[in-house]
Amino acid sequence: MSIDLKKIKGSLLNNIELILTGVGLLVILLSGLVANRAEFWKITALVAILVGVLHGLIFWVIRRRQRLVRAEAIAQVRDMLEDLMKNKLQSVKMMLHLAELRQARLSNQAQDFQEAYQVLRHISEIIDHLSEESLGRWRHRYQATLKRIEQEQPEP
C-alpha cells in the first residue's frame, strides 16, 4: 500500500476551503467546551469572530494568489501566441505585398489585399488585448461547446 503524497496534497489544495471551514467550526466548538458555563457564549462568539476574520484573510490571500497565477499564465500564453501569430502574420503580409507588387494593375485584387491587411490588423489587435476578462467572455460565449468537449473526453 503506497501513499501518493502528490494526490493527497492535490486533494487538500482542491478542498482547502472545506477543510479550513471544518477546522474553524471544530475550534469554535472546542473553545466553547473549554470555557466555563458562565462564559460559554461570550468565548464561543469571540472565537467565532476571530475564526471568521482569519478565514476571510486566508481566503483573500488564496484568491489573490490564484488571480496572480492565472494572470501570469495568461501573460505567458499571450506572449507565446503573440510571437507565433505575429511571425505568421508577417509572413502572410510579406507574401501579400509581393503578390500585390506583381499584380498591382488589377484593381479588384488591390481591394482584396486591403481586406487581407485589415484581417491581419484585427488578429494582431485580438492578440494585444488577450486577458483574463476576454478569456472569460470567450468561455461564456462558447460554454455549450466547451461542455460538449469536456463530456467527450475520456476520464483518466
- Domain residue ranges in the chain: 5-152
Q: What is the DSSP letter of 106?
A: -
Task: Categorize the per-residue pLDDT at 54 as very low, low, confident or very high, splitting at 50, 70 and 90.
Answer: very high
> What was the pLDDT predicted at 78?
74
Cell of 123: 488578429
Task: Categorize the per-residue pLDDT at 1 as very low, low, confident or very high, splitting at 50, 70 and 90.
Answer: very low
Q: What average pLDDT does the chain have?
A: 77
Report the range out of 29-43, 86-100, 137-151 with the highest average pLDDT. Answer: 29-43
The letter for the amino acid at 75 is A
pLDDT tens for residues 111-145?
666 777 777 777 777 777 766 677 777 777 777 77
- Distance from C-alpha of 36 to C-alpha of 41, rounded to nearest angstrom: 10
What is the pLDDT averaged over residues 32-61? 87
pLDDT tens for residues 64-75?
998 888 888 877
Q: Is residue 63 over pLDDT 80?
A: yes
